[in-house]
Structure formats: structure tokens, C-alpha cells
Structure 1
Amino acid sequence: MTAPEIAGGPGAAPATPEHLGGRGAWWRRLPVVRQVRQSVGLQRGMLVAGLVLCAVFVVTAVGARWIAPYGWSQLRTPDGTFGAQQPPSAEHWFGTTVGGYDVLSRVVWGAQTALLVVIVAVLASIVVGVLLGLVSGYFGGWADRILVLVADAVYAFPSLLLAILLAIVISGGQSSMWGGVLAAALSITVVFVPQYFRVVRAEVVRIKSEAFVDAARVLGTPHRRIMTRHVLRNSVRTLPLIVTLNASEAILTLAGLGFLGFGIEPTAAAEWGYDLQRAVADVTSGIWWTALFPGLAIVLAAMGMTLVGESLNDLADPRLRVRARNRKVAGSVAATSVATAPAGESSAAADPKEDS
């Protein structure tokens, strides 16, 4: 019997292993699915838990209009006002705040505000940081030294204090939703730009001395094409790891701004940090629900993104990929190995033909 017959019947072609480019299920090569399949043990549990928390956060933010029972600034219904500091009930599952707002609605709408701030802050940080890092690392010179000095100075400054100062300057007393979102996002952006700048610049300095870049210069390729087609594409591989970690930091910074009173006005949008600050006085009076749920939302959202970021950071280590691959290969070898006779048995017991 030939190998093709053993593998899949007469005339069947041998299956190509997936890691050698086989035509296996295409969904296994998707970014998130590939990382989950590479992870093992506790690492896989952390990654899956982080993905679940992030999915709940995003779904809640996107579907806030349909999930929240009331508006973020709604104080009454046709039947009357909600009432201040009402305990959890059938009408208000999470109770009401000291200002008379529904806690569940504020928590759900606060997820939408946090997601908008994270998206704007991270995208703006990537665009500015990657562009400055690419130009600074590729051309060098006095501009590179000045940018590195400024980035180090900003990076050494306390991030929350810098965000507070910039929030005061940028907001200008605006209380609209998008004005507050942009003010908070841009305040966080200035804190994140030095991180992307330093990472991209270090990669560009390393890659621009590679042989393929020198070959492109010899062929007369313009600098703009070399920077975009050769250098940039090989310098941003670690950015997804930084994005996930910065997203959790953005949520905490936004909550800190709101807690200190420099965030978004409560009538413009719901914000977890502001609600938590207003609930501090309630805790001493035994009113726990106004502080528990906004604080729990901050912790779960930041924890989910942190778990994803730390798991992806671990999976970027080649030693972990080797361990997972070795375990898979060891299982395949054990399933196809030939059993040998125990040491105490004779060769006659192993070969029945000798008895006859």
C-alpha cells in the first residue's frame, strides 16, 4: 500500500501541512485567530479573556443607543422624575446618581465616549508619531537631534499632569460632546506621540542600513519611495502591541481627567471618571451603587485591553512560538509511533512465528 493510499484512499495526494502553505481553513490565518492558536495554557486563557472583555466594551459602545434604557442626561420620564440616589430597582437596575441620572444609562453611554476618545487619540498618535519617527530616523542630522530631545522631554514629563495642562488649553471652556472628546483625545495624543516616535525611529535607524535599502539607493529609487515601500513597511510591525497597551492607558487617562474635573461636561456626554468623582461623597453615606458600576467599567475595559496587549507582547517572543510548535509535533509523533515490547518479555513473545 502506497503513501497516498494510506493518507486518503487510492490516488489521493498527500496533505500539505498548514505551516508549509497548505490550503487549510483560511480563517485560521486571520490575525486574532492565529494568535489564539499559537498561545498555550494560561497565556491562551489571558488572551481569550482580554478579547472577550474588549468585545463586550466595543459592542456596548457601538450599541449604546439600543442598550441604554435612557439618555445620558435624562432626568425624568412622562411619569415623573427619577429621583436622586435611588437604590437599584426594576425601573433602574443600577440605581440613580446624586444628580438624578440613571446609573446604567451613564455607564453604557460612557463606554461610547471612552471608545471615541481612544480611537481619536490612538489614530492621531500613530499618524504624528510614525511620521516624525520615519523622517527623523531616515534623514538624521540636526532635526533628528532636536526631535529626540523634545520627545525625551515630553516623555519624562508626568503624563497625567501634561494631559491636564493641555486639556485646559485645548478645551477653551467648550462643553459640547465633540469638543470635549477632541480636547481629551488631543491631550492624550501628546502623551502618546513620543512612544511611537521612539519605537519607529529606532527601527528606521536599524533598517536603513540594510542591504536591500542600499540596493534601492544604487538603483536610483527616490527617497520617498524608499521610505514608504521599504523602510516604513518593516518599521511598524510592533505597533499593534503598543496600540493595545496605549488604549488601556487612554481610558485611564480619560478617567483621571474626568475625576479631577477637566474632562467632559455631564450634560454633553457621559464619562466614567466624572461619575466616579461625584460618587465619592456617596460612599461614606453607604450609597455604594453610584461608585461601584462606573469604577467597575473602568477596571474591566482597561483590564481587557491590557490582557490583550500583554498576551500579544508575549507571543511576539519567538521562544513561545517554538514551544507551542514543539508540543504540537510531539503529540503527532506520539500518536504515530510504534509500540515496542517491554524489557522483561522475550523476543519469542514479540514474534509468534518462532513458536510454530
Structure 2
Amino acid sequence: MTAQQAKRVQRLQRKADADTAADGNVIPMWRRHLKEVLHSPSCVISIAVIVIMLLFSFVGPFFSPYQQNGLDIINAKQAPTVAHLLGTDEYGRDILTRLMYAGRISLTVGLASMALSLIIGTVIGLVCGYYGGWVDATIMRLADLLMSIPGLPLLIIIAAMLSSFKVPPESRLYIVMLMLSLIGWPGLARMVRSEVLSLREQLYMKAADALGLGTHSKMFHHLLPNVYPLLIVVATLSTASSILSESTLSFLGMGVMPPNASWGNMISAANNMIDFQKRWWLWIPPGTAILVTVIAINVLGNRLQDILDPKSERSAA
């Protein structure tokens, strides 16, 4: 036995020991994964950062003495003071307060578009992987067509059309969510499909066929639970991608429109070199919020992939 094989055997033995409780009972998989997450410093720190950003965005505004759109032209573009900890913008609005409300919109867009694309992609991937044939071929060609179109240019074109039709700012928020979910489902559907194609050849699926279980039972009670680890990882990473896409569109003036605040359109307040060089409080706080949130979500997603993927060498270590 080579040294590499011996190390692999030792890792598998440690994993087997960890999977068995002191009384000899097998520890449920979800509990093992939760234990690994809680013992991973990167996971704990990322979760803490995400929770802090959620509390900051959804609870923080209740403790702010300022309104999101409270105008005070006299104090426009004021540097940070005790009264305004992050200064004011060109209309005298408190940036800290607007940063909280902007976080509500940016996080809501990211989570809602992720959830919608997750539902669409999972259902389509299950149907294609289970049935195959002309159903699989037709839907996957449509997915290939959508994936061949660059996502950001497509979003910009659609957002420009919304501007030309003068869509109200309140409605644009929901349309942005829909746009992000429509360009996000093809990749997810392909991953779910490939996983289902592999799973449907497993022995337990052959047993389900022999028992005469219905299609619904086989798809949603046998195949779908085994795709959950993949869905958790993809959902985490797609949330970060959606936040970045929304911020980019809003920065370009084609996403969430004022007076509604998002982290992207707050950065666009520094629209000249003087503001960019001398009024850092206009763009650094929203930029930092985007950076910290996206990094935390991506780190969590990458670590969850290591933990939940049974083929991962790092998950076996």
C-alpha cells in the first residue's frame, strides 16, 4: 500500500468513526454536516457577517432618527459627524440610514431572485433528468440558447427597454428580480439534470421501480432529497451573484431607481472626480457593504461545497 493510499484509508476511518455515536448508533447526515459547519471557523465567521448585515438592513432602520428620503439641503454632502456618522449625500440625507434601507433592497433582490431561479431550475432539471428523450433535448436546447447570451449585456438591454417605457420605480424592483431569476435558472437546471441522470441509475431507484412507486414519489421523495446538497451550495453562490448583478445595474442607472436606495445606486452618487477623491463617504460605505456581504456569502458557499460534497477530498479530511 502506498503512502497516499494509507492516508486515504486513515481519512475514511476517521470519517467512519465520526459518523458513529458513542452508543453505536449512526449519526444522521444533517447533524454531521451541521457539526462540520459549526466547527469550521470560515463558516462561523461568514454566517456571523451575513446575520449582522441582515440585522443591520432589516432591523437597523427602526433605530435610526432619520427618514430614508428626509431632505436637508443645507447639510448636503456633509462629512461624517456625531449627528451623521457616515455623512450626508447631495440632498442632505443621512447616508447611514439610507445604507440600511439600501441593504433591504439589495439583499431582498438577491434572495428573491435566487429563490425563484432555484425553484424553476430545480423543477426543470428534475423533469429533464428523469424523463430524458425529446423533453430533455427541447428544454436543454432552450437553456443552451439562454446561456450563450452574455448575462450582463442582456440585463442592460432589458433595463434600457424598461427606462424607455417609463416603468415606475416601484415596479422596476420586481422586474429586476424576475430578470435575474430568468437568466439564472439554465445553469442550475443543467447541474440538477446531470445529478439526476446519475442518481436514477442507483440501486435504490431500481428498487423504487420494482415496487411500482409513482413518478411523483420517485422524483420528489427519492431524487430531490439527494440533490439538496447541490441546491444549498448553488443557492448560496447565486445569491452573491444576484446581489452583484443588481448593484451593477443600479450603479449604471438601469436597476433600482431613486428615490429607492440600493447599494449600487448609492455608489453612483460619487459621479465626478471631486466627489470620488474628496467625498469618500458617498461611495465607500455602500461599496464596503457589497464587498463584505458578497465575500461572506461566497466563502460560506465554497466551504459548504467542501462539506456537502461526498467526493471532496477536503470533506473527507
Quick check: 299-308 or 233-242, which moved more?
233-242
Distance 1:277 1:234, change over 3 A: same
1:59 aligns with 2:55: yes
1:34 aligns with 2:19: no
Distance 1:207 1:113, change over 3 A: same
Per the alignment, residue 174 of structure 1 pairs with 167
Identity of matched residues, %: 26
1:72 aligns with 2:68: yes
Distance 1:170 1:241, change over 3 A: farther
Quick check: 126-135 or 269-278, which moved more?
269-278
- Aligned residue for 1:235, secondary structure, equals helix
Distance 1:32 1:62, change over 3 A: farther
The separation in 2 between residues aligned to 1:165 and 1:139, in whole angstroms, is: 35
1:319 aligns with 2:313: yes
1:155 aligns with 2:147: yes
RMSD between aligned residues = 2.6
Distance 1:29 1:228, change over 3 A: closer
1:48 aligns with 2:44: yes
The separation in 2 between residues aligned to 1:225 and 1:169, in whole angstroms, is: 43
Per the alignment, residue 21 of structure 1 pairs with 21
How many residues are treated as equivalent by the alignment? 294
Q: TM-score, normalised on structure 2? A: 0.84
1:103 aligns with 2:95: yes
| Deviation at residue 103 of structure 1 after TM alignment | 1.0
- Aligned residue for 1:125, secondary structure, equals helix
1:252 aligns with 2:244: yes
In structure 1, list runs of 5 or more residues that go unmatched.
Answer: 1-16, 324-356
Q: Deviations over 1:40-75 (max 9, x none)?
A: xxxx3x323322221111111220332433222111
Superposed, 1:116-135 pairs within 5 Å as: 116-135=108-127
| Deviation at residue 284 of structure 1 after TM alignment | 4.5
Q: Are the counterparts in 2 of residues 68 and 109 from structure 1 also a CA contact under 8 Å? A: no
The correspondence for 2:233, drawn from 208, 219, 241, is 241
The separation in 2 between residues aligned to 1:68 and 1:263, in whole angstroms, is: 26
Per the alignment, residue 280 of structure 1 pairs with 271
The separation in 2 between residues aligned to 1:211 and 1:19, in whole angstroms, is: 23
Q: Are the counterparts in 1 of residues 57 and 101 from structure 2 also a CA contact under 8 Å? A: yes
Larger radius of gyration: 1
Per the alignment, residue 222 of structure 1 pairs with 214
The separation in 2 between residues aligned to 1:321 and 1:259, in whole angstroms, is: 39
- Aligned residue for 2:253, secondary structure, equals coil
- Aligned residue for 1:88, secondary structure, equals coil
**Greater helix percent: which structure?**
2
Distance 1:69 1:30, change over 3 A: farther
| Deviation at residue 22 of structure 1 after TM alignment | 4.6
